[in-house]
Structure 1
Amino acid sequence: MTANEDQEMELEALRSIYEGDECFKEVSPVSFQFRVGDLEDCKAFILDFTWPEMYPETAPQISLDAFFNNRISPETKESILSKLEEQVEANLGTAMMYTLFEWAKENQEELMENHKAVVTALLTSRCEVTTTTSASKKKEKKEQLSKAQKRRFISRTDHKGELPRGWNWVDVIKVNKCFSPPLHHSGVG
């Protein structure tokens, strides 16, 4: 059997096994993402796999570069990848995606045992200060809304009092401008 035939058979198997599973995503016929853990789990991570032309005779490319993984330290990512590469070596020459996915799920605790969330201290402290001061101001003065303000507020909700998803999302560009250092021009003149 050629590598391409092996890939086609494994792809069919993966599609049938993970049909409807939100943890598995086929990015392309040779590229996949697999989420280990629930979305709310602080120790969850997403694995990216890409098959080279000669897979399964050669190892798949594995990365943890998904944006979802930005909170994981580089050391933890390195540890996960090295342990996965050991599994790849043990399964080289065979269809191994299912084996790798299931191994990662079963060993999630061990893979993330040294996990410490990556947080920018400056951003966290500024956000906490802003949140606490704005919360204390709101407690001091109870806001009285006019009828027009109440109507506008109601029109933004789904008439059950629930605001739509994303109503309080922060504009990333504004946040970056807020926390970026000022530019100094050393112009000649």
Structure 2
Amino acid sequence: MTANEDQEMELEALRSIYEGDECFKENSSVSFQFRIGELEDSRAFMLDVSWPEAYPESAPQMSLDGFFNNRIAPETKQLILTRLEEQAESNLGTAMMYTLFEWAKDNQLDLMENHQPVSNAVTAISDNNNMTSNAPAAGKKREKKEQLSKSQKRRITSRTDNKGELPRGWDWVDVVKVYRLLHLPSPPIFDR
């Protein structure tokens, strides 16, 4: 069999195995993406694989350069690629994509053992700003303050003292009105 025939057979097998699997994506007949782990998992990563012309006699080209992997440290990416390349070398001459994907799934915890999520530049800048000020973190919405008109502001300041508090007894008039409406004798403080 030629390399192209082997590739066609493996492509058919991959399509049938991963049909409907959201982790597997076929970009072209020689380029694939496979997500290891769940979307919400901080240890998940996306493996990009492409077949050279001589595949499976030569190892596939693997990469972790996709946007999905931005939070993974370069050292961790290099470790993952090195371990996957070792697996690919041991399987040269055979259809190995399923084997590589399953090996990566089985060894995800070992591969991501030293994983510390990397913050991107935007997060790092906002974190530095949060240390020096009380600005909300990036991603959180700031609460909008209610905008008052000038007349509303004047009324508030005329009713309150310099601390923004209402003066003692400001609602006594309302108490007297309630007593009158209920036909009760006036409250004891007004009986003097």
Query: Normalising by structure 1, what TM-score?
Result: 0.69
Matches within 5 A, 1:107-146: 107-119=107-119, 120=121, 121-126=124-129, 129-131=134-136, 138=143, 143=146
Residue identity in the other structure for 1:112: M
Identity over aligned residues, as a percent? Answer: 71
Aligned to 2:47: 47
Name the SS of the counterpart of 2:115 in structure 1: coil
Distance 1:97 1:123 in 2: 41
Q: What do the CA deviations read for 1:115-170 (whole angstroms, capped 9, x no partner)?
A: 111114323333684316xx8x749x5x48xxxxxxxxxxxxxxxxxxxxxxxxxx
Q: Which of the pair has more CA radius of gyration?
A: 2
**Structure 1: stretches of 5+ with no match in the other structure:** 145-189
Task: Give the Cα separation in 2 of the matches to 1:62 and 1:44.
Answer: 16
1:125 counterpart letter in structure 2: N
Instruction: Name the residue aligned to 2:106.
Output: 106
The letter of the residue matching 1:40 is E
Following TM superposition, where does structure 1 have runs of at least 4 consecutive aligned residues deviating by more than 4 angstroms?
none
User: RMSD of the TM alignment (CA)?
Assistant: 2.1
What is the distance in 2 between the residues matched to 1:24 and 1:18? 6
Counterpart Cα distance in 1 of 2:24 and 2:48:
10
Aligned length: 140
Instruction: Name stretches of at least 5 consecutive residues in structure 2 with no aligned partner.
Output: 148-192
Question: Structure 2 length as normaliser, TM-score?
Answer: 0.68
What is the aligned partner in structure 1 of residue 27 from structure 2? Answer: 27
- Please give the alpha-carbon distance, in whole angstroms, between the structure 2 residues aligned to 1:123 and 1:43: 24
